[in-house]
Amino acid sequence: MTYHQIATATAAIAAATNRDKHDIALVLGSGLSEYATGLPKAIEVPYERIPGFPVPRVEGHAGSLVSAELGGTNVMVLAGRVHYYEGWPLEEVVFGVRTAVASGAATVVLTNAAGGVGEGLSPGDLVLIKDHLNLTGANPLMGSNDDRLGPRFPDLTGLYNADLRLRASETAGRIGIDLKEGVYAWLTGPSYETPAEIQMIKRLGGDLVGMSTVPEAIAVRHMGSRVLAISLVTNLAAGISPTPLSHAEVQETAAAARSRFSGLIDNLLPHLVA
């Protein structure tokens, strides 16, 4: 993936949406793609029509870019993402968010479905990610660095922007949504974790566990934009949950939380413009 491919995709998006610039990008996680339907002044561009865009193959992940206008702000919604566990190289996994930043997004909001590890977390909870543990040993910046995209050795302190988290907490409080905060542990999947791995993650300080988000957050930071990330706890993690984990449970909990999730995002996006 090169600088040139990102520029080509950016130009294709501008042409297809008739919008030169998108100020904010929003990536929708498992079971949350429905948020993209019915947005104001929406223009949908299927990923396969954007040169270089990887197309998701997993059940429950759609694959469309939706450009919308919310309160005078152009928002690029990426409904569906590709995952490392599908076999995509990480530079492909982050192609969408890199294209969003190249399209003008100074703020990128990442969302996901996650397992709950921390005390007091329940399925249906919305949790702001305050930091992450990368337990995969992989990194989307491995390989030669293109200095036009960002530095060789980016600092990840404050990756999950404190000011954006404050705005998110204030918004949630105002509309009566309980928004917690936690540390997200990234594992490759696609198998869910073992109970022993979940105990390890808990001891390491992880509150949430999932298979996405971290590579995208790193790539967005690499390019100098701000990250806000929100997990929806779709299940208690392995060994904490009394029942076996299933993708169906993840989808069902996400569906049940849809209106709360949408309410939070609708109210939040206008407050995130840089």
CA distance 11 to 26: 19
Q: Does 215 bind ligand HPA (CB under 6 A)?
A: no
Q: How far is the CB of 95 from ligand HPA (least distance, A)?
A: 22
CA distance 198 to 206: 9
Scanning 4-12, 17-25, 134-142, 234-242 for contacts with ligand HPA by CB under 6 A, the matching segment is 234-242
Q: Which residue is nearest to ligand HPA (CB)?
A: 115
Q: Does 115 bind ligand HPA (CB under 6 A)?
A: yes
Which one of 77, 101, 135, 245 is in contact with ligand HPA (CB under 6 A)?
245
Q: How far is the CB of 139 from ligand HPA (least distance, A)?
A: 19
Q: How far is the CB of 81 from ligand HPA (least distance, A)?
A: 13
234: tokens are 């779709």
Q: Does 114 bind ligand HPA (CB under 6 A)?
A: yes
Q: Does 232 bind ligand HPA (CB under 6 A)?
A: no
Q: Does 104 bind ligand HPA (CB under 6 A)?
A: no
- Chain centroid, CA 20 distance in Å: 23
CA distance 47 to 80: 9
Q: Which is nearer to ligand HPA, 95 or 192 (CB)?
A: 192
Q: Does 208 bind ligand HPA (CB under 6 A)?
A: no
CA distance 56 to 1: 17
Scanning 44-52, 78-86, 88-96, 112-120 for contacts with ligand HPA by CB under 6 A, the matching segment is 112-120
Which one of 27, 70, 77, 209 is in contact with ligand HPA (CB under 6 A)?
209
CA distance 189 to 148: 32
Q: Tell which positions 174-203 bind ligand HPA, by CB under 6 A.
A: 189, 192-193
Which one of 75, 94, 211, 217 is in contact with ligand HPA (CB under 6 A)?
211
Q: How many residues bind ligand HPA (CB under 6 A)?
A: 14
Q: Does 210 bind ligand HPA (CB under 6 A)?
A: yes
Q: Does 234 bind ligand HPA (CB under 6 A)?
A: yes
Interface with ligand HPA (CB under 6 A): 113-115, 189, 192-193, 209-211, 234-235, 237, 245, 250
